[in-house]
Amino acid sequence: MNYIFYFLIVISIIAGAINGKLSDVVNSILTGAELSVKVAFSLIGIMAFWLGIMKIAEKCGLVTLIAKILKPITKRLFNELPEDSPAIGDVAMSFSANALGLANAATPIGIKAMTEMQKQNIDKKSASNSMCVFLAMSTAGFQLIPATVIAILIGIGYKNPTEIIAPTLLVTTIAFISAIIIAKIFQRFWAPQTAPMPDTPETGGKN
């Protein structure tokens, strides 16, 4: 990615010099650098706000409640996993964080969910069907409140940043559903790659 941006900058400077607009290129670079700092600071503010809201929701049990509500759905989507798998709850919490536009908060939860799925994955060198479904869901990124996009729009001085909510909800919903359907279709061509969790004394099984 660094090479791509370096290439674009060099080409822009060369094209500006050839067309006699090198000063415009330099001004654009400086203006863009100044704007990026403003956007970064606006992102810090709104991300701190929403992460704080997420933390409050977690402390008061709202996130756990949402995870419990979504658990029957996640159990059907990840039917290869045992019902008592910790990954199911992590998936629900990751979905909740993504829905609020908190990708930074969803990332560590998603990594934890993937780690739990990998423990039950038979082929350790290949992703299981459940892992692929979760990756598709996370990539599609269903969002009720696109907090990051709103922060960027505020940073660049957009007059009505909240008008992005409805289009984002429509697009991410279509992408989210499509990703799940496609992942489930492709699952038919591969056998399940998850193994049942070993019995533990807590579950009354034998070691």
Question: Residue 174 — pLDDT band, cuts 50, 70, 90?
Answer: very high
Look at residue 47 in the predicted model and tell me its pLDDT: 67
Q: Which is nearest to 12 in space by CA: 2, 4, 22?
A: 22
Cβ atoms within 10 Å, residue 187: 17
Average pLDDT over residues 89-101: 78
44 inside domain: no
Question: Across the strands, what pairs with 121?
Answer: 194
Chain-wide mean pLDDT for the chain? 77
120 inside domain: yes
181 inside domain: yes
Question: Which pTM does this prediction carry?
Answer: 0.61
Look at residue 97 in the predicted model and tell me its pLDDT: 76
Q: Is the pLDDT of residue 84 over 60?
A: yes
29 inside domain: no
105 inside domain: yes
Q: Which is nearest to 129 in space by CA: 180, 67, 71, 197?
A: 180
Q: Is the pLDDT of residue 197 over 70?
A: no
167 inside domain: yes
Q: By the 8 A CB rule, do 134 and 114 touch?
A: yes
125 inside domain: yes
How many domains are contained in the chain?
Answer: 1
Range of the domain at 96: 50-197
Q: Which is nearest to 148 in space by CA: 39, 5, 17?
A: 39
19 inside domain: no
Return the HEC string of 175-207. HHHHHHHHHHHHHCCCCCCECCCCCCHHHCCCC
Q: What is the DSSP letter of 140?
A: H
- Helical pair 147-155 and 22-59, crossing angle rounded to 10 deg: 140
